[in-house]
Structure 1
């Protein structure tokens, strides 16, 4: 659990606080996405967790520990950190990058080597193919996967992600968001995600926290924020197409019923409901067969319409 209590930060010379009396509790195993316009305080809020920025007032607790009372180096070694552009060490191999924190913690070499391979498997990279590569021999998506593997290598309970997919091309970005989000949920990590991309927040976040001028305007589930904006600012931020954005946060499998439907186009169970709607529009179909680990099921256009209807 992460708990902010009355946390504020004003940088020298600034006319107003970057973060202004923030109260926020993030449950264990929850992914909390901080969103909002540029300069709203979301990255500053994240960086105060691992003391890259020190608050002027208030407290931040990890579990029952006040982070201000923890040595910054020890604190950071116990928190995974993924940032835009990844920040891999260019002179180290993929294995060397992933091994960074376990090495600093004094793990035995055999344990580190085993962990490196396990992390590469976890993020979908073949250890035999990738462990000895240098970062400049990787695609943007591959570098981002290695960055996540490095952040998770020492098995930290908390992961901070600051615009993690901003440097990845749009084709790879959505797949990475879904795959990495699923990994983090499976591992039960407590995650703070900072992003300017509302679709990314909807795909990955269990809860969205919209900030403006250093304050929290609305904290809600993705569906709650999109369906019930708290005020005109929130409604304007989520945009007039919020019904389609709601579908991006739902999977085809979650909306499917008994099936399969004979002759219908097929879609994977973990594809978004928005992708399912796009497939229907492209093919003219009103039904899809949803493929998944428990067998095929059926998805109808009516079910998608119902899911996107105003609350």
Structure 2
């Protein structure tokens, strides 16, 4: 668990604290997304976990241990870190980039090589095709995948991601958010993500923390943030189309009912209701065939509308 207890930080010359007395607990194995306008303190908060920034007051605890008492170098070697700029070493090939921390930890060559291949495969890059390439031979999305592989190479329990997909084109970004999010949940890592993208926050977070002027305004599940904004600031920040954003959080298989779909267009149970609605509208169909469950199932436009309008 990661815990912030009364944590504050003011930078020299600033008229107010960058982080102002926050209290926050992040459960082990969960993904917490920090979001808010520029200058709200989200990146400063993240960087206090690995001591790139030191708090003026309060404590940051990892499994009950104050990070202030841990050697910064050793601390950082045990925490994965992914940046917006990716930060790959341009003079090193992909394998050498991914192997950075295992080598610093003194892993044997064979173990390191096996781990490099395992991590590349995990993020969807065939080791045979990508191991010997240099960063300038990769697309933005591929470089970001390598950055994630490098951050996970030494199997850290904690992963920090600061605007991880901000430099990637929108199409690749959406795909990366889904794929990397699924990987992190499967590995049960404790993750903090900083983003300004509300859709990214809702898609990747188990818990979303909205910040404003160094303080936490609301910390809750994505669905609760969308369904019950804490105040006018949160309501404005998540947008007027928050009902559609809620549809992106629900899978078709969760509300489909058993039935004979006939020749209706087909989707998988993992399809979001937002994507299902788009298909219904574009195809002119009244219902969809949902596959991947225990048997034939049907998703209707009425069910999607009911889900979008329900306040919980």
Tell me which interval the TM-score lies in, with the shorter structure as reference length: over 0.9
TM-score (norm 1): 0.97
Shift of 1:256: 2.5
Q: What residue is the counterpart of 1:218 in the other structure?
A: 218
Shift of 1:64: 1.8
SS in 1 for 2:92: coil
| Residue correspondences, number | 311
Q: 1:100 to 1:294 in 2, by over 3 A?
A: farther
Q: Distance in 2 between matches of 1:269 and 1:106?
A: 44
Q: Distance in 2 between matches of 1:187 and 1:126?
A: 20
Q: What residue is the counterpart of 2:288 in the other structure?
A: 288
Q: What residue is the counterpart of 1:131 in the other structure?
A: 131
CA contact (8 A) 2:253 2:293 kept: no
CA contact (8 A) 1:260 1:290 kept: no
Q: What residue is the counterpart of 2:196 in the other structure?
A: 196
Q: 1:106 to 1:168 in 2, by over 3 A?
A: same
Q: What residue is the counterpart of 1:29 in the other structure?
A: 29
Q: What residue is the counterpart of 2:121 in the other structure?
A: 121
What is the root-mean-square deviation of aligned Cα atoms in Å?
A: 1.3
Shift of 1:90: 0.7
Q: 1:142 to 1:260 in 2, by over 3 A?
A: farther
Q: Distance in 1 between matches of 2:295 and 2:177?
A: 25
SS in 1 for 2:258: coil
Shift of 1:294: 5.9
Gaps of 5+ in 1: none
Q: What residue is the counterpart of 1:254 in the other structure?
A: 254
Q: Distance in 2 between matches of 1:34 and 1:260?
A: 43
1:76 equivalenced with 2:93 (yes/no): no
Q: What residue is the counterpart of 2:13 in the other structure?
A: 13
- Cα deviation, 1:242-290, whole Å, max 9, x if unaligned, reads 0001111222233323256221112233332211111111111221123
Q: Distance in 1 between matches of 2:258 and 2:57?
A: 54
SS in 2 for 1:52: coil
Deviation beyond 4 Å, 4+ runs, structure 1: 293-296
1:44 equivalenced with 2:44 (yes/no): yes
